[in-house]
Chains A and B, each alone.
Chain A
């Protein structure tokens, strides 16, 4: 009897041999694919090509190089063009300098020049670029253009002399390609050649040369050679050049800076070419610097109103507070467009000193909307404390605007003041306070919010207080503390207040809160009972489900029956429940449902259950005319996710769907499912 050790060793040997056998088999498949590859034609199966590709992808570097070499060898064989094209595509992804010698001759091949270039353009080795450069001399015009393009992509500086010759040659398409390539490569020779051609080229070539020249200038600017770039841009900002070229040159002039920039901008901004003015201001946004801001603010009052309005917008966008005095002055303008633009700009540049002006404007008038927007965006750090002060005691129209803005600005430090404002004499102030509290308050404010629900300044405020409390409780992680505060006030609260508090309990969602709700379901007071059932129906987890079902099964009032059942059905969809629990709940719900709407809701939920039993539950509904549409959708949705289980049930269900459904898409899916299930 072999020892344990012997048996283990034997097992290991078997495993190794089996793995080797699998590997040898895979190798054999690849070898076969390599043998068949030279005969490949378009339209044939690519399965073997895919196998080779995957082998390349998964191979270690040495093995990959070996495979690439073997593929490259096919390029000079009698393999089909289709095979060679495919090889070039693979080499463009996986190739290395080792395959350059095989690819290079194809650069002047009638059929394969482009594909060879595909590969060489992407092989990151000087030999690939060199091969393309050398091929220029013997390439035909179409091939030459492709080579020039690739040399441009590779930024081949050694090709510049050849490219300059091509640029200056008489063939326009070749010259065009050369101009683009020189633009990508850049450098003094490229710039000089393009500058020269600007005076000689015509038509399409001239447009390309100008663009290339601008691109070279951009390259110099990016390399920190602003003065040289500026000189080039100035050459392109001539009145006889097309407007879009001058626009591009203007952008460069602005970006490069220099002593000529502001005089030019002044000329444009005080002129009447509104398109260039808009462009100039847009480009100025990309350039920081106090001297630009000063130049613009000095210019502002001299401009016509339309241009002033544009510039104010751009001063705001620049965000340099040095512009604030000029912008504040413009708020007093008689021109409405200028005034509005100035108000908006204040919102981007202002500080606490601008609050009085903005709050006064926000309280009413033609710029109220802009002023509100500005209040919400005021950037400075001293603004929030100043706003909080105003929220305490300003005149009501101003106070409500400030309170609104504190909410929009997210100033949580304002919460204590907002709580006080929720009891202000002015109704609009109170309403804004509740809205802002809803956004800002945290768990510390819950007791005060509870107090506001129970005892608001005015009973009309209770809904807003209730909403704020619910939102805050929903947001707070300290659920038990929130619930405790609510429950502490619940028993003693009068009916209206109690009803409102009950509707906030789902937001807390604790066991004690649920217990309180359940207790109130049996209340003698109709309002309290109604609120308790509504809240139970909104409960966030399945803990409320048994009570909801009991209510749905026993309560007489239809509204409560429907609410409870809908809540129950909603909870049946909870992801925390297992499939069999959900199924049971849907079954109970279907039995309790008296109206089609709730039955449809059940069917909708069943559609998400991946179980044969769910499909079995849906089938009877397919016979009910009132439910057929939803039942069909649910049946198909379930069947799609059964993964081959329950085929007889699928067949039964899909046949019924096909018999009754008029939805073409659904029927197509049902047909497919029926076929898969063997029907």
Chain B
């Protein structure tokens, strides 16, 4: 795809010095945007990940980071301090959408806010870079994808990206090197971790006083009202169904988006999802799980494995007594190599009738069995070149982006949401990917579009 501008800039890590920063609103309408223009940004959500997205403005150039937003005053102050001169600290994200000097909104809130902030930004004419997982519910993803398309906005989700081994796999799959149907295995044995234990919720949370610096009601936003406890907010919110889906959605969107891209499933969805977790699943706290199986109409089968040999509570309880599984101190994911096999994880990542692919998480590349398939794949047709988010914003090119767009990201997080539904309900889910509805299960369909607390709505 030929792009309008032949220059590229790595916006997210660019030093703004020596370039002219001009908000695009000045240049909108008739006229050309100078090649050196850098879009201005506002970051909503300034926790650990959000702070990575907050850029430090340089004193001798117009600010790129023009606003930061958080409902925790301490975090907001820290973010504003990092951004420096020219950056406003704003407590309510809606006030950012009013501003004509903001081109891009970076959404780094907990997932239960992702869709609402992204929708507000898109409807205000902003482009969006949203953290993963894209959404907390399936209905949210459809609403955001439709709005992004309606307004012609660039919306990308900040996964690890569709390059490197994913691109190699796409070449192999498109050329039919491995044959069809394909079986994909995502788990520690094949080189992928899910941080299952890191993001366990706690089931013994007694209400605590809300810290003075935190606007807890705003933090809750659309989620049901629950008494405050520090484990429900900030770093550990992923352990609660009201805000996120645990490690399955946190890490799952990285891996599953790459798989969807490689297997040509960007417009597709599964037809059957089953999962194996302790039953009954806790109604509030995300628990451990062992395996999820996602099946597509074309015969593709994707298995997600947590690496947990037994699905137990910390006290050794199983099943109905596993209510009291406590969240340990956050750990790193288990993506170690198997000794003696330095080039790849021990289990195949993708398997087809004609061959297999293995993933090397250290070198972030694929190897094949038979080994010379690597050369065969090297010679296969290259997929369309991708562009980075900043280039998509400045050029408005239709070229595919290295990070997934709204529709693709919605499609790749949907199977993960369905897997969590299967865990929560203790049964497999049948899904109609065209209508985007659960088949024959009213209780599961209820969970596709959870109600929101006012004043929030899609």
Interface residues of A (CB under 8 A from B): 42-43, 45-47, 49-51, 53-54, 57, 85, 89, 92-94, 114-115, 117-118, 121-122, 124, 142-143, 145-146, 149-150, 152-153, 173, 176-177, 180-181, 204, 207-208, 211, 214, 218, 242-245, 247-248, 251, 271-275, 278-279, 281-283, 285, 306, 309-310, 312-314, 317, 337, 340-341, 344, 373, 376-377, 404, 407-408, 410, 435, 438-439, 467, 470-471, 474-475, 507, 569, 600-605, 607-608, 629-630, 633-634, 637, 640-641, 665, 668
Contact = CB atoms under 8 A, between A and B. Distances in A.
A491 B282 CA distance: 69
Interface string B358-370: 0000000000001
Given A143-B454, A475-B354, A313 B398 contact: yes
A108 B31 CA distance: 54
A145 B456 CA distance: 9
B372 A273 contact: no
Contacts of B33: 274
B125 A279 contact: no
Contact of B323 (A45, A149, A281, A467): A45
9 contacts: A43-B204, A43-B206, A46-B282, A57-B425, A177-B454, A181-B457, A273-B29, A310-B2, A341-B2
> Helix, strand, loop or mixed for chain A's interface?
helix
B283 A49 contact: yes
B455 A278 contact: no
B376 interface: yes
B397 A467 contact: no
A665 B152 contact: no
Given A50-B323, A279-B152, A604-B338, A118 B451 contact: yes
Contact of A278 (B4, B32, B283): B4
Residue of A143, A173, A306, A602 ringed by the most chain B CB atoms within 10 A: A306
A242 B398 contact: no
Contact of A207 (B124, B320, B379, B443): B124
B152 A247 contact: yes
Contact of B2 (A42, A272, A282, A340): A340
Contacts of A251: 149-150, 152
A24 B209 CA distance: 43
Contacts of A93: 443, 446-447
A344 B28 contact: no
Given A42-B207, A43-B206, A53-B280, 8 more contacts: A114-B453, A121-B451, A153-B449, A245-B125, A273-B30, A282-B398, A310-B2, A439-B177
Nearest to B332: A665
A487 B450 CA distance: 66
A272 B28 CA distance: 11
Contacts of A122: 446, 451
Which 6 pairs of residues, A with B, have the shortest CB-CB distance?
A: A604-B340, A244-B125, A43-B206, A146-B454, A630-B339, A601-B340
B94 interface: yes
B87 to A, nearest CB: 23
A665 B334 contact: yes
Contact of B454 (A145, A340, A435): A145
B354 A177 contact: no
B283 A271 contact: no
B277 to A, nearest CB: 14
A211 B97 CA distance: 14
B165 to A, nearest CB: 21
A359 B30 CA distance: 41
A650 B372 CA distance: 41
B212 to A, nearest CB: 21
B309 A507 contact: no
B75 to A, nearest CB: 25
A246 B63 CA distance: 28
B215 interface: no
Contacts of B125: 242-245
Contacts of B450: 118
Interface string B326-339: 00000110101011
B116 to A, nearest CB: 12
B454 A272 contact: no
B442 interface: yes
A607 B345 CA distance: 13
B443 A142 contact: no
B432 interface: no
Given A46-B282, A341-B2, A467 B123 contact: no
B32 A272 contact: yes
B152 A602 contact: no
B161 to A, nearest CB: 22
B31 A272 contact: yes
B226 interface: yes
A308 B152 CA distance: 20
Interface in B400-458: 425-426, 442-443, 446-447, 449-458
Contact of A438 (B227, B332, B376): B376
B293 interface: no
Nearest to A283: B152
Contacts of B151: 244-245, 247-248
B370 A507 contact: yes
Contact of A173 (B206, B284, B455): B455
A601 B380 CA distance: 33
B299 interface: no
A218 B143 CA distance: 13
Contacts of B426: 57
A265 B402 CA distance: 30
B455 A142 contact: yes
B381 interface: yes
Interface string B306-325: 00010000000000110110
A408 B172 CA distance: 11
Given A42-B227, A149-B457, A630 B340 contact: yes
A668 B206 CA distance: 29
B361 to A, nearest CB: 15
Contacts of A180: 457-458
B1 A313 contact: yes
B382 interface: yes
Nearest to B203: A46
A608 B345 CA distance: 12
Nearest to A51: B320
B280 A408 contact: no
B205 interface: yes
Contacts of B340: 569, 600-605, 630
Contacts of A248: 150-152
A214 B150 contact: yes
A344 B152 CA distance: 24
A54 B152 contact: no
Given A272-B31, A310-B4, A602-B340, A408 B380 contact: yes
A641 B309 contact: yes
B207 A114 contact: no
A85 B207 CA distance: 15
Contact of B30 (A50, A271, A279, A309): A271
B375 A467 contact: yes
Contacts of B230: none
Interface string B366-395: 000010110110011110000000000001
A42 B206 contact: yes
B283 A243 contact: no
Interface in B7-50: 28-33
Nearest to B31: A272
Given A57-B426, A435-B379, A114 B152 contact: no
A407 B379 contact: yes
Contacts of A50: 280, 282-283, 320, 323
A633 B336 contact: yes
A274 B32 contact: yes
B318 to A, nearest CB: 13
A603 B309 contact: no
B264 interface: no
Contact of B28 (A208, A211, A275, A410): A275
A83 B451 CA distance: 19
A373 B382 contact: yes
